[in-house]
Structure 1
Amino acid sequence: MIDPGLERWRLILGRPAAGALGEPDGEAAERDAALDWLYGRDDQLDRRDIRRREGGIGPSRLSTVDWLDGIVRLFPKETVERLQRDAVERYEINDIVTDPAVLERVEPNPALLRAVLRTKHLMDPEVLRLARRIVEAVVRDLTARLATEVRHSFAGARARRASRFKQARDFDAGRTIRANLRHYQPEEKRIHVETPYFLSRSRRHLAPWQVILLVDQSGSMLPSVIHSAVTAACLWGLPGVRTHLVAFDTEVVDLTADVSDPVELLMKTQLGGGTDIARAVRFAAQLIEQPRRTIVAIVSDFFEGGSEADLVRAVRGLVEQDTIVLGLAALDEQADPAYDRKCAQRLADVGATMGAMTPGELAAFVAERVGR
């Protein structure tokens, strides 16, 4: 039996720590076996000459269904989601999302959604029906959360006049600082604010804008594909906004007809293949009705598989007609991009705004332009 204070370390270190910490028993032994079923298959263990388990209830006796049932009972929800994510993304245990018996047991989460979208081409119709439950549940949650941010952004444009209603979202930092500079305390290096100022938020007629989302379908962009679909659904039907969603690899597919149903839209995406961003930008140019009231957001890692010169030329053409071009290397909750910096710099040099955004930040950017 292991000292309770050392049990966590024994689970983290695995079998190699048994000599120093001992063998777990009871529920701790079950946790140890569940962790070993997953992490014991890591090929680094062989390279580092770490001996694997030889007996017990290890990989040869646990099925995926048994393992899933066990971890739900043995670990908190956050840990279960991490284990499932590692299973499908790190070790590619695809039967978690392709085995009907497993699909009936799993609790939907974003990692499983990504796994379904990566493997849906392997599924027969019955399995696809069960997998769709995961897509629907996660997308419903994402949509509910993002819709709140979008509604907040479009609640009304801030007019440049004072308001007697003091709300943090309408705080006028610039005016407040200027008006209170006389209260600056050098020894404290701070301004004592006696009078804060706020802006009023009023609704106004919104002239129509087009928002065209061009989404790279390459596998590395999957989180951005998911959030682009949900973002487009949340923008769909808002006053003053006409939303288009176009997916591309080496081909270009206009998915605008399905924007109001992000589940159906995601089930139609085809991940992988090459990348021809220039072709997608030229397609977007054909959709534009009023160049000065259009935002084209290119969601891509900017590893151009076609002609980079053609891409730069196409983006320059949009910028020269006063269309706003956003180059988003990531559009998801983390907004942590990995992209071709040289290509991104060339696009920035011709007038595109390059960066990464969360869906809420993109909605706020659109709302600011639409409300002008």
Structure 2
Amino acid sequence: MSENGPDEALRRWRLVLGRFADRSLAGCCGGDDLRRDRALERIYGESYRRRGLRLDVGPKSSRGGSEPTRMTMPEWFGEMRELFPRSTLEVVKADALSRFGMTEILDDPKALAELEPDPAILSALLAHRGRSDPAVEAKIRQVAKRVVEELTKRLRVQTSRALSGARRRGATTGLRGAARDIAWDETIRRNLRNWDPERKVLVADRLRFHAATRRHLPWRIILCIDQSGSMATSLIYSAVMAAILSTLPAVDVKLVLFDTAIVDVSDQVGDPVDVLMSVQLGGGTDIGRALAYCEQKHVATPERTVLVLVSDFCEGAPIGPMLSTVKRLAGARVKLLGLAALDEAARPSYDHATAQRLAEAGMAIAALTPEHFADWVAGHLR
């Protein structure tokens, strides 16, 4: 079979299309290719099975079938390791968990041990957490720890820079500072008498610098996070951002998770792994109740409070109480921010009509990547 000729192209198409191309591309695959096809079918055929399609029945048959016995997960993992590169195996494992919810893959010790720390994988693991045995629970914590460490490393510097302070352009000082902080206009004005006409240079013996300032006003940031099943990835990023924010000077962070119930994990805000391990994904959504809880428990100084709602805005309760609470908070001068997405892909999926109603009631709405979240919040603190 030619490496680059038409036979190779047909072989590749047969592997991509799977068993549904058997009639048109019969004979294109053999040997190890048939094993590869069966291994991929074990995962990707699941999407058809879960939609009620019977893959084992031929087009002219009303019963019976010819589908080979489905390989067990340990058998599948062994085949994948032998037939595919590691990078392919990781992609297929991620699809099995995050796209198809095939948590039985976690029952294989080898597959479990080799899971890569990735937000998408962690999302699937968190959804499985309540049904897992102690060994899987320990692995979930291990993956969560590594994911949190990577995200914290990536987001900490930008978040600290955005929220911990800013130069005050309206005031200058004679105290020494960095070259980037030189107030050039003021420095030039104060040194005009030192102009050297022969050398055509200005001798600046009195440098002026922008006065550095840090926000020492007591800001309270309340993160109110939807923990319904569709919000797993947002929860991961929110927990990491809450931990980073809690390390900043003069910022007090409260963290509240909700579906139809409310879990206040403000005492765990410095440990995002513990926060994630306390999450119970699923259930309905009662945004109004969660906002009312934040108002009653955590809004002490409204004009120095930022309340960030991270949700898909799919309210399961009557919308009236939610809008009333938002209007009341806005009237009290609480800064209200509604975040429709907090993952790095910025592919928001949310109820646009409800988001519009929230905006009309006084909540700023955005769909942002984590890198832009800190700048957005900082903009509302200035």
- Place the TM-score, normalised by the shorter chain, in its bin: 0.7 to 0.9
- How far the C-alpha of 1:26 sits from its partner, in A, is 5.3
Q: Give the one of 239, 242, 252 matched to 1:229.
A: 239
Residue number in structure 2 paired with 1:178: none
Q: Secondary structure of the residue that 2:214 maps to in structure 1?
A: coil
1:250-300, Cα deviation, whole Å (9 max, x unpaired): 221111111111111111011112221111111111312221121101111
Residue number in structure 2 paired with 1:312: 323
For the residues of structure 2 that align with 1:292 and 1:267, how far apart are their CA atoms? 33
For the residues of structure 1 that align with 2:137 and 2:358, how far apart are their CA atoms? 40
Residue number in structure 2 paired with 1:277: 287
Task: Indicate the RMSD between aligned Cα atoms, in angstroms.
Answer: 3.1
- How far the C-alpha of 1:323 sits from its partner, in A, is 1.0
- How far the C-alpha of 1:138 sits from its partner, in A, is 2.1
1:56-107, Cα deviation, whole Å (9 max, x unpaired): xx652x3223323443554455543432232123333211235545322333
Q: Using a 3 Å threshold, how does the CA distance of structure 1 residues 202 and 227 change in structure 2: closer, same or farther?
A: farther
Residue number in structure 1 paired with 2:341: 330
Residue number in structure 2 paired with 1:137: 146
Matched length: 335
Q: Secondary structure of the residue that 2:367 maps to in structure 1?
A: strand
Alignment of 1:236-247 (within 5 A): 236-247=246-257
For the Cα contact (< 8 Å) 1:155–1:203, is it kept in 2? no
Residue number in structure 1 paired with 2:37: 32
1:159-185, Cα deviation, whole Å (9 max, x unpaired): 44799759xxxxxxxxxxxxxxxxxxx
Mean CA deviation greater in 44-53 or 291-300 = 44-53
For the residues of structure 2 that align with 1:277 and 1:142, how far apart are their CA atoms? 27
For the residues of structure 1 that align with 2:10 and 2:212, how far apart are their CA atoms? 60
Choose 1 or 2 for highest CA Rg: 2
**What is the TM-score of this pair, normalised by structure 2?**
0.77
Q: Using a 3 Å threshold, how does the CA distance of structure 1 residues 165 and 24 change in structure 2: closer, same or farther?
A: farther
Q: Using a 3 Å threshold, how does the CA distance of structure 1 residues 71 and 151 change in structure 2: closer, same or farther?
A: farther
Mean CA deviation greater in 122-131 or 228-237 = 122-131
Residue number in structure 2 paired with 1:182: none
Q: Secondary structure of the residue that 2:348 maps to in structure 1?
A: coil
Please state if 1:117 is matched with 2:121. no
For the residues of structure 1 that align with 2:294 and 2:17, how far apart are their CA atoms? 53
Q: Using a 3 Å threshold, how does the CA distance of structure 1 residues 4 and 153 change in structure 2: closer, same or farther?
A: farther
Letter in 1 for 2:156: A
After TM superposition, what 4+ stretches of structure 1 lie above 6 angstroms from structure 2? 47-53, 161-164
Please state if 1:97 is matched with 2:106. yes
- How far the C-alpha of 1:113 sits from its partner, in A, is 1.0
Q: Using a 3 Å threshold, how does the CA distance of structure 1 residues 300 and 28 change in structure 2: closer, same or farther?
A: same
Mean CA deviation greater in 251-260 or 85-94 = 85-94
For the residues of structure 1 that align with 2:277 and 2:256, how far apart are their CA atoms? 14
For the Cα contact (< 8 Å) 2:312–2:351, is it kept in 1? yes
Q: Secondary structure of the residue that 2:337 maps to in structure 1?
A: strand
For the residues of structure 1 that align with 2:144 and 2:354, how far apart are their CA atoms? 33
For the Cα contact (< 8 Å) 2:228–2:283, is it kept in 1? yes
1:192-246, Cα deviation, whole Å (9 max, x unpaired): xxxxxxxx98741212211101011110111111111111112111123211110
Alignment of 1:345-356 (within 5 A): 345-356=356-367
- How far the C-alpha of 1:54 sits from its partner, in A, is 4.5
Letter in 2 for 1:339: Y
Identity, in percent, stands at 40
Residue number in structure 2 paired with 1:364: 375
Q: Secondary structure of the residue that 2:341 maps to in structure 1?
A: strand
Residue number in structure 2 paired with 1:170: none
For the residues of structure 2 that align with 1:141 and 1:59, how far apart are their CA atoms? 41
For the Cα contact (< 8 Å) 1:215–1:298, is it kept in 2? yes
For the Cα contact (< 8 Å) 1:100–1:127, is it kept in 2? no
Q: Secondary structure of the residue that 1:270 maps to in structure 2?
A: coil
- How far the C-alpha of 1:20 sits from its partner, in A, is 3.1
Letter in 2 for 1:36: E
For the residues of structure 2 that align with 1:246 and 1:31, how far apart are their CA atoms? 46
For the Cα contact (< 8 Å) 1:333–1:358, is it kept in 2? yes
Q: Give the one of 247, 258, 265 matched to 1:248.
A: 258
Which ranges of structure 1 fall in alignment gaps of 5 or more residues? 167-199
**What is the TM-score of this pair, normalised by structure 1?**
0.79
For the residues of structure 1 that align with 2:160 and 2:78, how far apart are their CA atoms? 39
Q: Using a 3 Å threshold, how does the CA distance of structure 1 residues 89 and 140 change in structure 2: closer, same or farther?
A: same
Q: Secondary structure of the residue that 2:317 maps to in structure 1?
A: coil
